């Protein structure tokens, strides 16, 4: 598979998002393990998770533990796989999402994530979502402390604005390596952040790159250009969508969520799909005004 970089790490151009395997509607554990193994079989070496990827109260870190189990049971060396997790977003267990960006909380959460994931340090730790009750600089300062303490190897931010990217970059400098924002044909409003991250040499990790769990099935019907290009290449519109995102900048690494082996196997093939300039022009023209 084509490779790209996150900081000093080389990873697959397509990653795996773990959230669907742990929240509402999640499959049985065995199928989730099979899905992660299928991703590894397909050459995926970047997996994204978060301590908040769980369904019920009392199971914080469900997805982190699931990924750790899958890597341990794979049967081959997985030391080259970069696992990214996040902290600062919480799920009380009633279906809601809350935030806690206090430095003391983030440090505690990171250490708990490390215990679940195993190893000497978290490969990539990301501040999940800004907390309006905590100065952004204070939350980012916690990442700096975690780097200094060796709890994490690389630092990233998620759901960040251009100004927040600059603020985090000013605090962390070269230690900031990634920005993870929502981006897809359905959600284009973070393109300024994508382009700004690229200008700084930061990896941009689109979450819900296919439009989200409840909307991905409608991708072809909602965005005919992707279906048209897919038909011309004899591939799925999902592959075309991911290949288009890869074409925007060499720093883009989509992380499609999956809970079935077939889904991530199909998505991984996008890294090898070569869209023509005409394909990209057709797609971009269809998105004008979206």
| CB-based contact 95:24 (threshold 8 Å) | yes
What are the chain's domains?
3-223+237-273 (3.20.20.100)
pLDDT of residue 153: 97
Using the CB atoms, write b or e for 86-109: b if 16+ within 10 Å. Answer: bbbbbbeeeeeeebbbbbebbbeb
Using the CB atoms, write b or e for 174-194: b if 16+ within 10 Å. Answer: ebbbbbbbbbbbbbeebeebb
pLDDT of residue 290: 63
pLDDT of residue 95: 83
Counting Cα atoms < 13 Å in the Cβ hemisphere of 36 gives 32
| CB-based contact 178:196 (threshold 8 Å) | no
pLDDT of residue 93: 83
User: What residues act catalytically?
Assistant: 53
pLDDT of residue 220: 80
Segment 261-274 mean pLDDT: 97
Could you tell me which residues are beta bridge partners of residue 187? 184
Segment 272-289 mean pLDDT: 94
More confident residue, 218 or 193: 193
Q: What angle do CA 51, 215, 156 make, to 5 degrees?
A: 35
pLDDT of residue 214: 67
CB atoms within 10 A of CB 122: 25
Segment 168-184 mean pLDDT: 96
């Amino acid at each position: 598979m084509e490779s790209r970089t996150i900081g000093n790490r080389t990873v697959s151009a397509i990653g795996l998002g773990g959230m669907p395997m742990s929240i509402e509607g999640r499959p049985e554990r065995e199928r989730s393990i099979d899905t992660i193994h299928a991703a590894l079989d397909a050459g995926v070496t970047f997996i994204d998770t978060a301590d908040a990827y769980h369904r019920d109260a009392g199971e914080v870190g469900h997805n982190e533990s699931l990924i750790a189990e899958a890597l341990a049971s794979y049967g081959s060396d997985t030391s080259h796989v970069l696992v990214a997790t996040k902290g600062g977003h919480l799920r009380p267990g009633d279906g809601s999402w809350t935030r806690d960006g206090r430095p003391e909380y983030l440090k505690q959460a990171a250490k708990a994530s490390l215990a679940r994931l195993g190893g000497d340090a978290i490969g990539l730790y990301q501040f999940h979502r800004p907390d309006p009750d905590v100065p952004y600089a204070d939350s980012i300062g916690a990442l700096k402390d975690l780097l200094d303490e060796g709890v994490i190897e690389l630092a990233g931010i998620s759901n960040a604005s251009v100004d927040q990217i600059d603020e985090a970059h000013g605090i962390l400098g070269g230690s900031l390596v990634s920005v993870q924002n929502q981006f897809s044909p359905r959600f284009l409003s973070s393109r300024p952040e994508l382009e700004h991250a690229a200008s700084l040499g930061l990896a941009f990790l689109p979450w819900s790159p296919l439009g989200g769990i409840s909307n991905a099935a409608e991708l072809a019907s909602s965005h005919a250009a992707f279906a048209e290009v897919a038909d011309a290449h004899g591939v799925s519109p999902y592959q075309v969508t991911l290949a288009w995102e890869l074409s925007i900048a060499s720093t883009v690494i989509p992380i499609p969520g999956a809970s079935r082996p077939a889904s991530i196997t199909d998505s991984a093939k996008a890294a090898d799909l070569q869209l023509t300039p005409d394909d990209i022009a057709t797609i971009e023209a269809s998105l004008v005004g979206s």
